[in-house]
Chains A and B, each alone.
Chain A
């Protein structure tokens, strides 16, 4: 039983510490991503309004090409 008590203690403390660090990073960098999300969708809609059709498909193809490189 002592093994499990020590094991769960270490697991809990380490997890909480890592999660606290992750929460700080994601909070800060995530806010920038939210603003970028609005910009991306607005730009896509503007492209569609200008008669460019569904530019999202082109973007997806570019993503696949980039990932495969």
Chain B
């Protein structure tokens, strides 16, 4: 990576001032809104007082974080224009959810704060605790690479190419986010989400237009043709993504991201009414699509720039002209591009916006998983005898502990695959089972407790989608012996289908007593 040090960066000391001023501003907001936090409802769902436009800003703000920008840009870099199918799937499915109210409207009507809370209402306390452990475990694992992605972005953008800088930046970032989240809870999250939405929306649009103008459409298309061939445009091409991956994306980037994933459901639960929920999803569908497509386009532009630049060509491409198989390298392509094409001043604003995005996503997720552990695991185990004050303190302690784990995990875990695929698979440990429970619990009267617990347990098999786990378990070697390919998408889809089958079979074979009487 020494070659990258010779590239330099447009990031000047004035850009550092802009970033610093932004961080100071957000810290002051956190201190200011602390006065509005009085109980767990204020802390977790902002007192259920979100109106339409702030709900849209906070939904898109959370989901269009720095990590999303990083993994989407990486997908654009490694997959070309064909990666746009992920954003398209997300947008269309979110729109359908908004129009139909599928899953999210019944959940809001129940007035719950977390999905495991629904499990208890429908399947009993045991399922809530089991589901809560799985949800928080998968969720924390899912955000395990957030810190690394954030640090790689900042170091690549600012020209800090020494690997130790990445570790230092990771430590500073987590300290910043922890302090902020512990202070303000959901109300401060809402405010940063709004600010982040404004800065990042315009920053992303500007960056895309700047990259487009700098490189030219015909040039970009020609480079993707050279590097990725047909697979760089056709998502169904087997040399690239292929049909099974597309279906997996419709499920994960589409349905799960907006209707099953806890952070998105929290926004639905925080909405003022079910009418706001529908409007939130209909309008957010554009954001759900754009949050993938714009960074992917930047990734495609980065592919063009790195391919045509002699100093970077050998870092990002093999002798055969293919993209290198190193996730931590390909992730740096987009911020490197921005460091080269954006002018001083603007780059500071974009950097601040991205940092805001990082904080916005991080604080939402930290808040989400700590509240799940408190409300769905500890409180039910304590028999509901925890006071509001104890719950708040416990949530804040857990935020700190999760942050410490994230730092250790980021330093230790070898990524081994595209960041987006890591996140889809780690999340699948929870959402493959959760989807079956939501579908069955909300729309099928005969869904039973046994079926629900079976479906949740089946979801654990999704962990084999992680490449290091797959290699360690011998799945990769077995597939080679059988001369077939087993991808994360295959394992994820198989797990989701099996969870649904387990839900149906378990419910029919072991119906709940109440259900069998009716």
Do residues A16 and B208 form an inter-chain contact, with CB atoms below 8 A? Answer: yes
Give A41-61 interface residues, CB cut-off 8 Å to B: 41-42, 44-45, 48, 56, 59-60
CB-contact partner of B205 in A23, A34, A37, under 8 A: A23
CB-contact partner of A30 in B36, B82, B194, B297, under 8 A: B194
Which stretch from B49-57, B157-165, B244-252, B495-503 is at the chain A interface?
B49-57
Give A1-60 interface residues, CB cut-off 8 Å to B: 1, 4-5, 8-9, 11-12, 15-16, 18-20, 22-23, 25-27, 29-34, 36-38, 40-42, 44-45, 48, 56, 59-60
A41 to B34 alpha-carbon distance, docked (Å): 12
Residues from chain B with a CB closer than 8 A to the CB of A36 are 49, 51, 54
Do residues B50 and A37 form an inter-chain contact, with CB atoms below 8 A? Answer: yes
Do residues A27 and B51 form an inter-chain contact, with CB atoms below 8 A? Answer: no
Query: Separation in Å of the B455 CB from the closest CB of chain A?
Result: 29
CB-contact partner of B201 in A8, A19, A32, A40, under 8 A: A19
Q: Is B109 an interface residue (CB 8 A)?
A: yes
Do residues A41 and B84 form an inter-chain contact, with CB atoms below 8 A? Answer: no
Of all chain B residues, which has the CB nearest A57?
B111
- Knowing A19-B205, A29-B53, A67-B273, the reply to whether A40 touches B47 (Cβ < 8 A) is yes
Contact size range, A: 35 or more
Give B14-66 interface residues, CB cut-off 8 Å to A: 33, 36, 38, 41-42, 46-57, 60
A42 to B36 alpha-carbon distance, docked (Å): 7
Do residues A15 and B217 form an inter-chain contact, with CB atoms below 8 A? Answer: no
Of all chain A residues, which has the CB nearest B208?
A16
Do residues A33 and B54 form an inter-chain contact, with CB atoms below 8 A? Answer: yes
Residues from chain A with a CB closer than 8 A to the CB of B217 are 9
Do residues B109 and A64 form an inter-chain contact, with CB atoms below 8 A? Answer: yes
Main secondary structure of the interface of B (DSSP, over half): helix
Do residues A5 and B81 form an inter-chain contact, with CB atoms below 8 A? Answer: yes
A5, A48, A59, A67 — most chain B CB neighbours (10 Å): A67
Do residues A33 and B53 form an inter-chain contact, with CB atoms below 8 A? Answer: yes
A27 to B57 alpha-carbon distance, docked (Å): 8
Do residues A20 and B205 form an inter-chain contact, with CB atoms below 8 A? Answer: yes
Do residues A5 and B233 form an inter-chain contact, with CB atoms below 8 A? Answer: yes
Of all chain A residues, which has the CB nearest B42?
A41
A67 to B274 alpha-carbon distance, docked (Å): 6
A7 to B42 alpha-carbon distance, docked (Å): 45
Do residues B81 and A44 form an inter-chain contact, with CB atoms below 8 A? Answer: no
A61 to B88 alpha-carbon distance, docked (Å): 37
Do residues A15 and B53 form an inter-chain contact, with CB atoms below 8 A? Answer: no
Do residues B187 and A37 form an inter-chain contact, with CB atoms below 8 A? Answer: yes
Query: Separation in Å of the B484 CB from the closest CB of chain A?
Result: 28
- B478-512 contact mask (Cβ, 8 Å, vs A): 1 or 0: 00000000000000000000000000000000000
Of all chain B residues, which has the CB nearest A9?
B217
Which stretch from B283-291, B307-315, B435-443, B462-470 is at the chain A interface?
B283-291
Query: Separation in Å of the B210 CB from the closest CB of chain A?
Result: 13
Do residues A15 and B293 form an inter-chain contact, with CB atoms below 8 A? Answer: yes
Do residues A23 and B42 form an inter-chain contact, with CB atoms below 8 A? Answer: no
- Knowing A4-B81, A5-B221, the reply to whether A34 touches B49 (Cβ < 8 A) is no
CB-contact partner of B48 in A9, A19, A22, A60, under 8 A: A60
- B140-166 contact mask (Cβ, 8 Å, vs A): 1 or 0: 000000000000000000000000000
Do residues B54 and A63 form an inter-chain contact, with CB atoms below 8 A? Answer: no
Do residues A8 and B286 form an inter-chain contact, with CB atoms below 8 A? Answer: no
A23 to B33 alpha-carbon distance, docked (Å): 24
- Listed by A's residue number, 21 A-B pairs whose Cβ atoms lie within 8 Å are A1-B225, A1-B230, A4-B233, A19-B290, A26-B56, A27-B197, A29-B52, A30-B54, A33-B52, A33-B54, A33-B57, A37-B46, A37-B54, A38-B33, A41-B187, A45-B38, A63-B273, A64-B109, A64-B273, A67-B109, A67-B275
**What 4 pairs across the A-B complex have the smallest Cβ distances?**
A33-B54, A4-B233, A23-B201, A29-B53
Q: Which residues of B contact A (CB under 8 A)?
A: 33, 36, 38, 41-42, 46-57, 60, 81-82, 84, 87-88, 91, 109, 111, 187, 190-191, 194, 197-198, 201-202, 205, 208, 217, 221, 225, 230, 233-234, 272-275, 283, 286-287, 289-290, 293-294, 297
